[in-house]
Amino acid sequence: MTEDNSGKLYEAYYMRVFSYAMTLAGDRTQAEEITQETFFRAFSKKSAFRGESDEATWLCAIARNCYLDEKRRQGRSEPMPEELPDTRKGVEQSVADRDSSLRIHVALHALEEPYREVFELRVFGELNFRDIGMIFSKTENWARVTYHRARLKLQERMDEK
């Protein structure tokens, strides 16, 4: 891979990979490290790209593997993401939104795999079902069904609380 092609790939997909890494890690510093490692692996192994999916899907799959490798190395569960306050809202609304958001994140965190990750990829990563299926080496229909089940499980947990 030429340096020019590497730069174009990086510029085209950096934010998408970083956003995906943020949904996985929930921590900006860790997401930046995952993103760097993703592009390092992609640039050093470009010949492994077979063209069976688009480059963004391939990079997200590498990012997922980087995240899982790091999680195994740390030997602990992933941290919960911290929410940044929105200064445009009133204090009461901010507290209510933060409480609702926390409840949703707690319920989402409690979802078992692969439901949690498929839900995060679809909602936060804004990936289509075909790409999600490719990341998991499954079909598009599998991704749709898994996402639907994740939504139902999340709704049940929210209704319980």
pTM, 2 dp? 0.48
Asked: is 1-76 a CATH 3.90.1300.10 domain? The reply is no
What CATH architecture does domain 92-161 belong to?
Orthogonal Bundle (1.10)
**Each residue's pLDDT tens digit in the chain (161 positions)?**
455 567 787 888 888 888 888 888 888 888 889 999 888 888 886 556 666 678 888 888 889 888 888 888 877 544 444 444 444 445 455 555 666 677 777 777 788 888 888 888 888 777 888 888 888 998 989 999 999 998 888 888 877 76
Domain limits, the chain: 1-76, 92-161
DSSP state letter for 48: G
H or E segment to which residue 125 belongs: none
Is residue 66 within 8 A of residue 120, CB to CB? The reply is no
